[in-house]
Structure 1
Amino acid sequence: MTIQASVLTQEVIDLSRKFPKEWLLKAKQNGFSDFQLATIFNTPEPSIRALRKHYGVESVFKTVDTCAAEFDAKTPYHYSTYEEENESVSSDRKKVIILGGGPNRIGQGIEFDYCCVQAVFALREAGYETIMVNCNPETVSTDYDIADKLYFEPLTFEDTIRIIEHEKPLGVIVSFGGQTPLKLSEKLHEAGVTILGTSSKGIDLAEDRKKFGALLEELAIPHPEYGTAINLEEAKEITRRIGYPALVRPSYVLGGRAMKIVYSDDSLKEYIDQALFITEKYPLLIDRFLETAVEFDIDAIADSTDCVISGIMQHVEAAGIHSGDSTSILPYYNISPKAIATMKAYTRTLAANLKVVGLMNIQYAVQNESVYVIEVNPRASRTVPFVGKATAIPVVKIATRVMLGEKLSDLRQEYDLKDCDELGMKHLAIKEPVFPFSKFVKSGVYLGPEMRSTGEAMSLADEFPEAFAKAYQAANMHLPLSGAVFISVNDQDKNPRILAIAQSLYRMDFDLIATEGTHSFLTKNGIECKKVFKVGEEGRPNIFDIIKHGKINFVINTPRGEKALHDEEAIGAASVLNNVPFVTTIEAAEASVQAIDCIRHQEFGVKSLQEYASYRNK
Structure 2
Amino acid sequence: MPRRKDIRRILILGSGPIVIGQACEFDYSGTQACKALRQEGYEVVLVNSNPASIMTDPEIANRTYIEPLSFDVIKQVIEVEKPDALLPTMGGQTALNISVELAEKGVLDQFEIELIGADLTSIRKAEDRLLFKESMKNIGIAVCPSGIASTIDESINVGKEIGSFPRIIRPAFTLGGSGGGIAYNQEEYVSICKQGLEASPMNQILIEKSLLGWKEFELEVMRDISDNVVIVCSIENLDPMGIHTGDSITVAPAQTLTDREYQRLRDYSIKIIREIGVATGGSNIQFAVNPLNGEVVVIEMNPRVSRSSALASKATGFPIAKIAALLAIGYTLDEITNDITGKTPACFEPTIDYIVTKIPRFAFEKFGGSSNILNTSMKSVGEAMAIGRSFEESFQKAIRSLEIGLHGWSSNDNDQLIPIKEIDKVLRTPSPERIFAIRMAMSHGKTDQEINSVSNIDCWFLSKLRNIFNAEKNILSGKQISQISENELFELKQLGFSDKQISLLIDVGEFEVRSLRKKYNVVPTFKTVDTCSAEFSSSTPYHYSTYERPLKQLINKDIIEIKETCREVDVSSNKKVLILGGGPNRIGQGIEFDYCCCHCSYQFQKEGFSTIMINSNPETVSTDYDTSDILYFEPLTLEDVLNIIEYESPEGIIIQFGGQTPLKLAMPILNWLNTAEGRKTKTRVLGTSPISIDRAEDREQFDLILNQLGIRQPKNGIARSAIEALEIAKLISYPLVVRPSYVLGGRAMEIVYDDAELRRYMKEAVKIEPEHPVLIDQYLENAIEVDVDALCDSNKEVIIGGLMEHIEPAGIHSGDSACCLPSVSLSQKSISIIKKWTKSISLSLDVLGLINLQFAVQKDLNGNEQVFIIEANPRASRTVPFVSKATGIPLARIASSLMSGRSLSELGINKEPQPPLQAIKEAVMPFKRFPGTDSVLGPEMRSTGEVMGSASSFGMAYAKSELAAGEALPVSGVVFLSTHDRDKQSLVIVAKNLINLGFKLIATSGTSSYLKRSGINVETVLKVHEGRPNIEDLIRSGKIQLIINTPIGRQAAFDDKYLRRAALDYSVPTLTTVAGAKAAVEAITALQKQRITINALQDIHRI
Which TM class, normalised by the smaller chain length? Answer: over 0.9
Write out per-residue CA displacement over residues 41-61 of structure 1, whole angstroms, 9 at most, x where no aligned residue: 222222222222222221111
In the alignment, which of 514, 525, 539 is matched to residue 60 of structure 1?
Answer: 525
**3-state SS of the aligned residue for 1:441?**
coil
In structure 2, give the amino acid aligned to 1:161.
Answer: L
Preserved contact between residue 1063 and residue 1070 of structure 2 (Cα < 8 Å): yes
Deviates more, 1:461-470 or 1:78-87: 78-87
**3-state SS of the aligned residue for 1:373?**
strand
**3-state SS of the aligned residue for 1:443?**
coil
Deviates more, 1:306-315 or 1:588-597: 588-597
1:152 aligns with 2:152: no
Distance in 2 (alpha carbons) for counterparts of 1:553 and 1:579? 9
Preserved contact between residue 66 and residue 75 of structure 1 (Cα < 8 Å): no
In structure 1, give the amino acid aligned to 2:1073.
Answer: T
In the alignment, which of 389, 414, 427 is matched to residue 885 of structure 2?
Answer: 389
Distance in 1 (alpha carbons) for counterparts of 2:801 and 2:685? 23
1:409 aligns with 2:905: yes
* Cross-structure match for 1:516: 1005
**3-state SS of the aligned residue for 2:789?**
strand
Preserved contact between residue 303 and residue 355 of structure 1 (Cα < 8 Å): no
Preserved contact between residue 607 and residue 900 of structure 2 (Cα < 8 Å): no
Preserved contact between residue 249 and residue 285 of structure 1 (Cα < 8 Å): yes
* Cross-structure match for 2:663: 182
* Cross-structure match for 2:834: 343
* Cross-structure match for 1:9: none
* Cross-structure match for 1:89: 570
* Cross-structure match for 1:5: none
**3-state SS of the aligned residue for 1:605?**
coil
* Cross-structure match for 1:7: none
Deviates more, 1:472-481 or 1:60-69: 60-69
Write out per-residue CA displacement over residues 66-117 of structure 1, whole angstroms, 9 at most, x where no aligned residue: 2245433333111111113332211000000000000011111111111111
* Cross-structure match for 1:475: 965
In structure 2, give the amino acid aligned to 1:408.
Answer: L
In structure 2, give the amino acid aligned to 1:474.
Answer: A
Structure 1 residues 279 and 380, CA, compared in 2 at 3 Å: closer, same or farther? Answer: closer
Write out per-residue CA displacement over residues 430-483 of structure 1, whole angstroms, 9 at most, x where no aligned residue: 111111122223222011111111111111111111111111111121111211
1:598 aligns with 2:598: no
Preserved contact between residue 62 and residue 88 of structure 1 (Cα < 8 Å): yes
* Cross-structure match for 1:11: none
1:238 aligns with 2:749: no
Preserved contact between residue 61 and residue 88 of structure 1 (Cα < 8 Å): yes
1:170 aligns with 2:659: no
CA drift of 1:265 comes to: 2.4
CA drift of 1:15 comes to: 5.4
**3-state SS of the aligned residue for 2:631?**
strand
CA drift of 1:178 comes to: 0.7
1:27 aligns with 2:508: no
Structure 1 residues 549 and 565, CA, compared in 2 at 3 Å: closer, same or farther? Answer: same
Structure 1 residues 233 and 23, CA, compared in 2 at 3 Å: closer, same or farther? Answer: farther
CA drift of 1:274 comes to: 2.7
* Cross-structure match for 1:8: none
CA drift of 1:316 comes to: 0.4
CA drift of 1:385 comes to: 0.5
**3-state SS of the aligned residue for 2:684?**
coil
In structure 1, give the amino acid aligned to 2:505.
Answer: I
Deviates more, 1:236-245 or 1:453-462: 236-245
1:198 aligns with 2:679: no
Deviates more, 1:207-216 or 1:150-159: 207-216
Preserved contact between residue 230 and residue 278 of structure 1 (Cα < 8 Å): no
Distance in 1 (alpha carbons) for counterparts of 2:892 and 2:963? 29
**3-state SS of the aligned residue for 1:356?**
coil
Distance in 2 (alpha carbons) for counterparts of 1:303 and 1:117? 21
Write out per-residue CA displacement over residues 545-590 of structure 1, whole angstroms, 9 at most, x where no aligned residue: 2212211110001111221111111111110101111100001101
Write out per-residue CA displacement over residues 357-396 of structure 1, whole angstroms, 9 at most, x where no aligned residue: 0001001111121111111111000000000111011211
* Cross-structure match for 1:315: 806
* Cross-structure match for 2:1049: 561
In structure 2, give the amino acid aligned to 1:527.
Answer: I
Preserved contact between residue 993 and residue 1081 of structure 2 (Cα < 8 Å): yes
CA drift of 1:19 comes to: 2.7
Alignment of 1:69-108 (within 5 A): 69-83=534-548, 84-108=565-589
1:334 aligns with 2:334: no
1:525 aligns with 2:1010: no
Distance in 2 (alpha carbons) for counterparts of 1:16 and 1:455? 46
In the alignment, which of 970, 988, 992 is matched to residue 503 of structure 1?
Answer: 992
Percent of matched pairs sharing the same residue: 50
- CA RMSD in angstroms, aligned pairs only: 1.6
Preserved contact between residue 441 and residue 576 of structure 1 (Cα < 8 Å): no
* Cross-structure match for 2:515: 50
Distance in 1 (alpha carbons) for counterparts of 2:487 and 2:481? 11
**3-state SS of the aligned residue for 1:195?**
strand
* Cross-structure match for 1:547: 1035
Looking at CA atoms only, which structure, 1 or 2, has the larger radius of gyration?
A: 2
Write out per-residue CA displacement over residues 195-229 of structure 1, whole angstroms, 9 at most, x where no aligned residue: 10000110100111121122112221111122222
Preserved contact between residue 339 and residue 366 of structure 1 (Cα < 8 Å): yes
In structure 1, give the amino acid aligned to 2:1095.
Answer: K
In structure 2, give the amino acid aligned to 1:391.
Answer: T
In structure 2, give the amino acid aligned to 1:564.
Answer: A
CA drift of 1:523 comes to: 0.5
CA drift of 1:16 comes to: 4.5
In structure 2, give the amino acid aligned to 1:443.
Answer: T
1:261 aligns with 2:751: yes
Distance in 1 (alpha carbons) for counterparts of 2:493 and 2:740? 32
Normalising by the residue count of structure 1, what TM-score does the alignment of the two structures yield?
0.93
* Cross-structure match for 2:851: 360
Distance in 2 (alpha carbons) for counterparts of 1:213 and 1:301? 22
Question: How many positions carry a matched residue from both structures?
Answer: 594
In structure 2, give the amino acid aligned to 1:319.
Answer: A
Distance in 1 (alpha carbons) for counterparts of 2:1057 and 2:1076? 18
Write out per-residue CA displacement over residues 166-201 of structure 1, whole angstroms, 9 at most, x where no aligned residue: 000000000010111011111111111411000011
**3-state SS of the aligned residue for 1:547?**
helix
Distance in 2 (alpha carbons) for counterparts of 1:278 and 1:385? 30
| Consecutive unaligned residues in structure 1, runs of 5 or more | 1-13
Normalising by the residue count of structure 2, what TM-score does the alignment of the two structures yield?
0.53
In structure 2, give the amino acid aligned to 1:129.
Answer: S
* Cross-structure match for 1:275: 765
Deviates more, 1:358-367 or 1:546-555: 546-555
Preserved contact between residue 246 and residue 286 of structure 1 (Cα < 8 Å): yes
Write out per-residue CA displacement over residues 230-284 of structure 1, whole angstroms, 9 at most, x where no aligned residue: 2222222222222222222222112112212222222223223333646674222
Alignment of 1:7-22 (within 5 A): 16-22=481-487
Preserved contact between residue 230 and residue 284 of structure 1 (Cα < 8 Å): yes
* Cross-structure match for 1:607: 1095
Distance in 1 (alpha carbons) for counterparts of 2:575 and 2:875? 24
| Consecutive unaligned residues in structure 2, runs of 5 or more | 1-478, 549-564, 674-682, 860-864
* Cross-structure match for 1:111: 592
1:585 aligns with 2:1066: no
Preserved contact between residue 786 and residue 855 of structure 2 (Cα < 8 Å): yes
